[in-house]
Amino acid sequence: AQTVTQSQPEMSVQEAETVTLSCTYDTSESDYYLFWYKQPPSRQMILVIRQEAYKQQNATENRFSVNFQKAAKSFSLKISDSQLGDAAMYFCAYRSFQAPFGNEKLTFGTGTRLTIIP
Amino acid sequence: DTGVSQNPRHKITKRGQNVTFRCDPISEHNRLYWYRQTLGQGPEFLTYFQNEAQLEKSRLLSDRFSAERPKGSFSTLEIQRTEQGDSAMYLCASSLTGTQGHGYTFGSGTRLTVV
């Protein structure tokens, strides 16, 4: 079974600075998807960025980028120019690429609470 | 389309009572998922449907839990004889076959408190 580990329960960053959230995972599969989700206090999970494991290029979405190290099974999220609206819980998640019945689920880490300091 | 809708947003119930939650997915999405999130934890998978067929159930889904998606549109999650350990946020998500790599769209959840 796959596991996802987020070792930083809380992080804080000064507004306009850069912060990196860590995520490691364990899997025996070669193809899979990785995601970062944001969960603001309103509680709706919002997809921030995704990465296909077969792609070597790191994904980027505006101020959000990832550092995907497949061999190390590491998938960190970098937030540049942090804004007050970035304050939220951030969850790393894993999904199998091939989805016969039984592999549909997302496996989440325990999350990192990000605080933005004005 | 207004996204994934969940009702009610909050539910307080006495231990031993039955509760039912509803999820309305994005209309063109044929896959629907239920997750449970306890305080300080990430969401945990409960079950998923493709159209009206329930294709996978987690071991977390005890026999007190039942989920349905009768016409392949909205879904209900019922918990019978609630226990205090059932207190959690229940999240619904949906997706379209072939787009799972794009992630799922989540609803705002139903927060259950069992007293």
pLDDT tens readout for residues A60-98: 999 999 999 999 999 999 999 999 999 999 999 999 876
Give, as one character, the DSSP assignment of residue A58. P
Spatial CA neighbour of A36 closest among A97, A108, A99: A108
**CB within 8 Å: A43 and B108:** yes
- pLDDT tens-place string over residues A26-38: 999 888 999 999 9
**CB within 8 Å: B106 and A110:** no
Q: Chain B contact for A8, CB < 8 A? A: no
Tokens of B82: 């609630």
Question: Phi, psi (5° rounding) for residue A18?
Answer: -110, 140
A-to-B residue pairs, Cβ atoms closer than 8 angstroms:
66
A interface test, pick of B48, B50, B61, B100 with most A CB neighbours within 10 Å: B100
